[in-house]
Chain A
């Protein structure tokens, strides 16, 4: 283990450690705008400059490996001046209309400029023209604000395997964006918003629809209902300075009520509904394949994550039959709200406005898909991300921290713990197994505390096997079958898994894919994060929420049973087929 001296303090670090990590180990923060833990260290922004004894120039801490006996200064005059110069150069090329920028309160560049006491920019840089791209329903891109840190490129290409963004042109004329300055809507983009999650400035952000929601709330003729996705409650607190992993479910409900929503419901309710439909779909497929010998597409893939769906439509048109036909919980909720609930309160669907709060930018896209109009119009009217809800609560002058806890309304507000874990990678699979195993065998899923341990955590691809024994008569064909399942999160991992499946290297019955690293808790619409520590804290909070629930399985949710009893009939029934299932389309391959 090499040892080095950082600002007169000697520490030992593992071989191959970069200076930036060594400094953090020594309790020294090195500023950076392009570094992404475990994902990108390319020394592009040059802000992480440090002084290494014996080196001719200042070195970038993110690309310099520690060598034994190194002596490093991170706070010398030379370092401060070097960083200041770099920041001024970056500012000289940045369209900094900070007052009206969506990133005003959390811009990393602005923070560093303040930190290093920059009062004047001495350079006149060449700026990329501001051709703001409004072409997608999820994201807004302003290349004029881009500082070329390449974080978005790396997540889009390497983590997500999508590649909508790349450096275009060269030198002063270089810009970051789609080919030939096309709008994002013209190239393959799944609108996952991971780029907006890591952008240090206001160059890529969610398409803000807060005012549209205020407008609906102001309209006395509209009955405005809101649903919040499982992942929101474990992250919204971060918008109000709570540490990552703080559950704020009760305060969130209070805040939504104070914003003026007529009813506060839960996407979790629809997650339970999804399990009922998707679980039964899986069992039907297994029956077709194993008992009746019918041609059936297996493995079945989950369909909750709209980025993943769009990815499949672009890249794997031959495997669309493998996608579950179930709509996502967001859309199931919308369809049920504008039919079953509308009927219940004696309103027409056009008088109801359904607002979603999602951890996801792609949900904005999903809500606008023409397939999502089971009620005769858009089933979900407006989708806000977690970040937007945070801003909306502030704009309304609501003091979040001092709010009392409140609970969701009935009849679309109750949920099981299985619905909570939809937020985590591995969660949809675990929720499905909890219900499916019980349906097949009449017994509880034989895992400690109902957690399928091998499917949790941040490994990119996870697998589990569940042997089925002691089946109910109806499911005899599954007797002795070992159910093989897999879970992937981040589309790059999903692609690897797809290739294993296509080559025959791996065989599964059921596969869960979530578009974003960590699952929805790490979604593109969540409070911005660049590290796994935050992801893990949110994951842990979600499991806590699940374990705190009286009901842990979707099939035991009484409001779900009521919905089937009063309205839907049975899973996969005719009404379900019309309201809760969908079909997929072919999209451009490049």
Chain B
């Protein structure tokens, strides 16, 4: 899938759904003949729209020659897929075994308190959505959380607010801040 943005997209919020749906068709065209093409297509479409509305799922089902119910079943099976609009940034808290024993539960509670939302919900300002996940492969650096595509290691419950603040800055034209941090981290 190369560099395609497969998580919540931050730049399309003002584009009407109707228009976003037309961008689904080339994705279907590209993947419909490929074995196992359904899941990558769903991922990319979720990247384009930010979530998977019923209209998009119907379009994909039709394009792939599958039934609506079957494709909805696939979407419902994977926690990665969301059928409700999500925030600009998606926070995923790993509750895999390693993270869990290293305190992921407390991290999750701290995030819920900090953002005033529950798992599966989105903050009122539509900046953050909260999800739980199972293992990012960062067990040696547990507990881990992901914000969009960034993995944050050894997260302390008391510091979650600091992490999110940087993403808020990004929204306010603070892209450079994050980019600088990313390069520094590399």
Indicate if the CB atoms of B76 and A163 lie closer than 8 Å.
no
Interface Cβ pair total, 8 Å cutoff: 53
Any chain B CB within 8 A of the CB of A166?
yes
Indicate if the CB atoms of B72 and A163 lie closer than 8 Å.
no
Q: Residue-by-residue, is A139-181 near B (CB-CB < 8 Å gives 1, otherwise 0)?
A: 0000000000000000001000011111111100000011110
Q: Which of B46-76 contact A (CB under 8 A)?
A: 54, 57-58, 61-62, 66-73, 76
- Expressed in whole angstroms, the Cα–Cα distance for A341 and B111 within the complex equals 76
Indicate if the CB atoms of A188 and B68 lie closer than 8 Å.
yes
- Expressed in whole angstroms, the Cα–Cα distance for A168 and B71 within the complex equals 9
Indicate if the CB atoms of A163 and B54 lie closer than 8 Å.
no
- Chain A nearest CB from B38 CB (Å) reads 13
Q: Which residues of A contact B57 (CB under 8 A)?
A: 179
If A187-B67, A188-B67 touch, whether A179 touches B72 (CB-CB below 8 Å) is yes
Indicate if the CB atoms of A170 and B77 lie closer than 8 Å.
yes
Interface centre among B54, B67, B77, B83 (most CB of A within 10 A): B67
The closest CB in chain A to the CB of B77 belongs to A170
- Chain A nearest CB from B172 CB (Å) reads 36
Q: Which residues of B contact A481 (CB under 8 A)?
A: none
Indicate if the CB atoms of A164 and B69 lie closer than 8 Å.
yes
- Chain A nearest CB from B64 CB (Å) reads 10
- Chain A nearest CB from B110 CB (Å) reads 26
Indicate if the CB atoms of A179 and B62 lie closer than 8 Å.
no
Q: By the criterion of a CB under 8 Å from any partner CB, how many residues of chain A are at the interface?
A: 18
Q: Residue-by-residue, is B149-165 near A (CB-CB < 8 Å gives 1, otherwise 0)?
A: 00000000000000000
Indicate if the CB atoms of B62 and A166 lie closer than 8 Å.
no
Any chain B CB within 8 A of the CB of A590?
yes
Q: Which residues of B contact A589 (CB under 8 A)?
A: 62
Indicate if the CB atoms of A168 and B73 lie closer than 8 Å.
yes
- Chain B nearest CB from A589 CB (Å) reads 6
If A170-B76, A170-B77, A179-B57 touch, whether A165 touches B62 (CB-CB below 8 Å) is no
Indicate if the CB atoms of B61 and A590 lie closer than 8 Å.
yes
- Chain A nearest CB from B43 CB (Å) reads 17
- Chain B nearest CB from A175 CB (Å) reads 10
The closest CB in chain A to the CB of B61 belongs to A590
Q: Which residues of B contact A170 (CB under 8 A)?
A: 76-77, 79
- Expressed in whole angstroms, the Cα–Cα distance for A187 and B57 within the complex equals 13
Indicate if the CB atoms of A168 and B72 lie closer than 8 Å.
yes
If A589-B62, A590-B58, A590-B61 touch, whether A179 touches B69 (CB-CB below 8 Å) is yes
- Chain A nearest CB from B34 CB (Å) reads 20
Q: Which residues of A contact B71 (CB under 8 A)?
A: 179
Indicate if the CB atoms of B77 and A590 lie closer than 8 Å.
no
Q: Which of A324-345 contact B (CB under 8 A)?
A: none
Q: Which residues of B contact A167 (CB under 8 A)?
A: 73, 76-77
If A169-B76, A590-B62 touch, whether A180 touches B70 (CB-CB below 8 Å) is no
Indicate if the CB atoms of A187 and B76 lie closer than 8 Å.
no
A178: contacting residue among B62, B69, B79, B83, CB under 8 A: B69
- Expressed in whole angstroms, the Cα–Cα distance for A295 and B58 within the complex equals 35
- Expressed in whole angstroms, the Cα–Cα distance for A590 and B56 within the complex equals 12
- Expressed in whole angstroms, the Cα–Cα distance for A386 and B131 within the complex equals 50
Q: Which of B64-112 contact A (CB under 8 A)?
A: 66-73, 76-77, 79, 83
Q: Residue-by-residue, is A198-227 near B (CB-CB < 8 Å gives 1, otherwise 0)?
A: 000000000000000000000000000000
- Expressed in whole angstroms, the Cα–Cα distance for A590 and B54 within the complex equals 11
Q: Which residues of B contact A169 (CB under 8 A)?
A: 76-77
Q: Which residues of A contact B73 (CB under 8 A)?
A: 166-168, 179
If A179-B54, A590-B61 touch, whether A164 touches B67 (CB-CB below 8 Å) is yes
Indicate if the CB atoms of B77 and A179 lie closer than 8 Å.
no
Closest 3 CB pairs of A and B: A163-B67, A179-B72, A166-B73
The closest CB in chain B to the CB of A315 belongs to B65
Q: Which residues of A contact B72 (CB under 8 A)?
A: 166, 168, 178-180
Q: Which residues of B contact A157 (CB under 8 A)?
A: 67, 70
